Amino acid sequence: MALSFRRISSVRSVSSVVHLQHPLAGPALAETLDGGQCFRWRLAEDGSWQGVSGQVAATLRPRSPTELEATLHAGTPADLRAHLADDLDWHALADALPHRTDGHLATCLAAFPGLRILRQPIGEALLCFLCSATKQIVQIKQMVALLAARHGRPLAPPGHCHPIVDNARGRGREGCQLLDDIGPGDAAGGTPGGAAEVHALPTWEELAGVSEQALRACLLGFRARHVAGVARFLAERPGWLEETAALPYAEAKTRLVGLPGVGEKIADCVLLFGAGRLEAFPVDVWILRVMAQRYGLEGWRPAQIAHFGRVHFGPLAGLAQQYLFAWERQAARRPG
DNA sequence: GCACAGGTAGATT
DNA sequence: AATCTACCTGTG
């Protein structure tokens, strides 16, 4: 199979080495896990990546461009493999973008070789991007962490929280400050002082039972009304999201845009990150800036930019968007 | 104190 | 159909 898991510890252990079929390292790894396409991965102080998606909770340690040491706190290797979308050749996909005739795109590709679009459960993508409206990534992560800690189901029993890693003494402790830790100064909702449990994001069924006030308490602000509205809508329509994910792109997008709080941009994010539709081309303020400043499309409106993107970048426009976004964020962090 | 943040929806021109 | 504006709230 694409990606094999070789156990490196005892029978009960959850630690494995993930052999990637396609290289994922350096800036591409960081940008894939923490570049605004998902909001539950974070870089720990020891250099490991800790994250949750669906039923997966994992700590990843890069060993080589094609090897990740993966400690699974919850979920299966197959789940992790699917989340990382290692069955697709992301270098080949990037090479299929029009970088030979687009110098700026070529620059972005060279800066983040191997950048991926992760596969997230569509319901989680919808929830996260409903929270994203006019918020910075740090704050979206905060909201999502609170939603999981207060309203999500525990993913692993408390005793399961210390991974056994037998090739080093006592390493693995850091796996425990995982995920539901929401930073200093945030008293409520957490497990006081003790080892944090790993929680999944609440399902939409679970969210239907959460009051708008409780959602606001998770720092959602006006987005709480949108989340509550979507929860009410979906509660009466089991399978609606999954059916939507299976529809052709245009039809799926039309359905999503009908949800409260979901416009063109969020619908495209849900389809790109939650339904594997690489043709979806979300147009946000960053992309608007990129197109104005680097493609000379000053004054174009979002709908025009979206059309340009689909035509210019083609069926993998969403991947191009992620590269452009990554480059622009890096430029913003390090001017000059 | 004030603008701004990976937007959306409803009102106004 | 293009252009405002309110909507929440943490951060600089």
**Is A301 within 7 A of strand C by CB distance?**
yes
> In a 10 Å sphere around its CB, with 0-12 CB exposed, 13-18 middle and 19+ buried, how is residue A297 labelled?
middle
Q: Is A216 within 7 A of strand C by CB distance? A: yes
The pLDDT assigned to A17 comes to: 80
CA at A10, C1' at B5: how many angstroms apart?
47
Does residue A318 approach strand B to less than 7 Å at its CB?
no
Distance A99 CA to B12 C1' (A): 43
Q: Is the CB of A136 within 7 Å of strand B?
A: yes
Instruction: Using the CA of A216, give the nucleotide whose C1' is nearest.
Output: C8
Report the phi/psi class of residue A65: left, alpha or beta, with left for phi > 0 and alpha for psi in -120 to 50: alpha
Spanning CA of A65 to C1' of C8, the rounded length in angstroms is 42
Mean pLDDT of each 10-residue bin along chain A, 336 residues long: 45 67 94 97 96 97 92 94 97 98 98 98 98 97 97 78 37 40 38 67 98 97 98 97 97 98 98 98 96 94 96 98 96 77
Asked if residue A265 keeps its beta carbon closer than 7 A to nucleic acid strand B, the reply is yes
Predicted TM-score of the model (pTM):
0.90
Distance of alpha carbon A212 from its chain centroid, rounded? 24
List strand B contacts in A 211-230 (CB < 7 A).
222
Q: How far from each other are the two terminal CA atoms of chain A, in whole angstroms?
A: 43
DSSP character string of A40-93: SEEE-TTS-EEEEETTEEEEEEEEETTEEEEEEEES-HHHHHHHHTTTS-HHHH
Would you state the structure tokens that stand for residue A158, as one six-digit string? 């408390």
Residue A5 is given by DSSP the state E
Name the residue closest to C2, CA to C1'. Answer: A301
The strand pairing partners of A59, in sequence order, are A50, A71
Estimate in Å the CA A10 to C1' C11 gap, whole number: 46
Which CA-bearing residue is nearest the C1' of B9?
A261
List beta partners, residue A56: A53
Find and list the nucleotides of strand B having atoms within 7 Å of a protein beta carbon.
5-9
Q: Which nucleotide shows the minimum CA-to-C1' distance to residue A225?
A: C7
Number of Cβ atoms within 10 Å of the Cβ of A19: 17
